[in-house]
Amino acid sequence: MSAAQVVGLGLCTPVGTSAHMTLASLRAGLVRFAETEVLDAVAEPVRASRLSLLDASLSRTERMVALARQALAGILPLMDALPPGRVPLYLGLPEAGLGPQVEQEALVAALLAQTAGRLEIVQVHAAGRAAFFEALASAQKDLHSGRAGGLALVGAADSLADSASLEAHVGARLHLGRPNPDGRIPGEAAGFVALARPGALKPLKLESSGVLLGTSLAVEPKPFAQSRPSLAEGLTEALRALRQDAATGTRRMDAVFACQPGDAFWATEFTRAYLRNAALMPEPLRIHVAGEGLGDAGAGAGPVMLGMALHRARWRHAGARRTLVYGSSDSGRIGACVVEMIRSAKVET
């Protein structure tokens, strides 16, 4: 399958309302972890990673709409420069379970309205931290077959920082606090990645910042949500597929970026899958976890981590060119991809 080219990136997170601001803040190690109005079982405020520009009273869907619209604004200049016609959108959203149900129709309608009919929704993947990777796989397949034309937009959004979601974390004893020292900090994020077929770069006058070498999907039979000991079979399968792929497994990765929160469950999952796929992994191992800077951004972590994978090397690791990015949902859906930074691409400073 021909490698899709990454030609655009728009992000909105608690540490930045644009891709440039978000990546610069994460590079500097900035976080926005703060106490909220929601109290836990011992009457202590629940901490969350929230975009402070949004009112705390907004619902989950309202926060996601605001985040997604701001992230999409970063892609609009690219879309405005394209010839007339609709751009297919593949969207990743939260999985059912923790937190209020997301109003998908309202979110999609807001995105379509913002682009004045330029976007055409193709598929929605409600798979939590794996959703962005499922959307990537769908877009990559359609670009290769020609169904998506020359360019496709892949996005994801999530918020676990609204009051109702925070209360759900307290009820499930998942939040980080005195009653649960191995908990997570709820977060939120949205992002959009523009992908193009290699042959479309010159006709559309696009510049590539990286190459999506491949994606893989899997399902964990004993996921976090079932509270059973996991052998990391799903993540092992996803990594093995990449290791055995001629395009992605030809050499070791230079870094690993995980879309996970900081719970010990996810560290154990990765360690078990890592040991079975050591030939794919960096040596020495370098891994960056989304929870360190964003908290648990759910489905929204995927585009942020892919953005970091394409730009982080230019800041600190000149030799880091090929990165494994993966996400594992609470319900067991798993996605992973390999992206390679293009040496000559220009980046804002």
- Could you write out the DSSP letters of every residue in 244-312? HSTTTSSS--SEEEE---S-HHHHHHHHHHHHHTGGGS-SS--EEETHHHHSB-GGGHHHHHHHHHHHH
Give the DSSP H or E segment for 108.
Answer: helix 104-114
Give the DSSP H or E segment for 34.
Answer: strand 33-39
Residue 15's CB: how many other CB atoms inside 10 A? 24
DSSP code string of 137-181: HHHHHHHHHTTTTTEEEEEEEEE--SHHHHHHHHHHT-B-BTTBT
Cis before 284? omega within 30: yes
Taking the CA atoms of residue 231, residue 260, residue 75 and residue 193 in that order, the dihedral angle to the nearest 10 degrees is -20
**Helices and strands: H and E segment counts in the chain:** 11, 12
* pLDDT by residue, tens only, the chain of 349 residues: 568 999 999 999 999 999 999 999 999 999 999 999 999 999 999 999 999 999 999 999 999 999 999 999 999 999 999 999 999 999 999 999 889 999 999 999 999 999 988 999 999 999 999 999 999 999 999 999 999 989 999 999 999 999 999 999 999 999 999 989 999 999 999 999 999 998 899 999 999 999 999 999 999 999 999 877 889 999 999 999 999 998 898 889 999 999 999 899 999 999 999 999 999 999 999 899 999 999 999 999 999 999 999 986 454 555 558 999 999 999 999 999 999 987 654 444 3
**Residue 37 φ/ψ region, left for φ over 0, alpha for ψ in the -120 to 50 degree band, beta for the rest:** alpha
pLDDT digits (tens, 9 = 90+) for 126-151: 999 999 999 999 999 999 999 998 99
* Helix 233-244 with 264-276: angle, nearest 10 deg: 40
User: What is the pLDDT, as a whole number, of residue 163?
Assistant: 97
What distance in Å separates the CA atoms of residue 76 and residue 62, rounded to the nearest whole number?
Answer: 21
Q: How many residues would you count in the chain?
A: 349
What distance in Å separates the CA atoms of residue 216 and residue 50, rounded to the nearest whole number?
Answer: 31
Nearest of 122, 55, 57 to residue 91 by alpha carbon: 122
User: Beta strand 4-12 with 210-219: parallel, antiparallel or unpaired?
Assistant: antiparallel
pTM of the model: 0.95
SS3 state of residue 200: helix
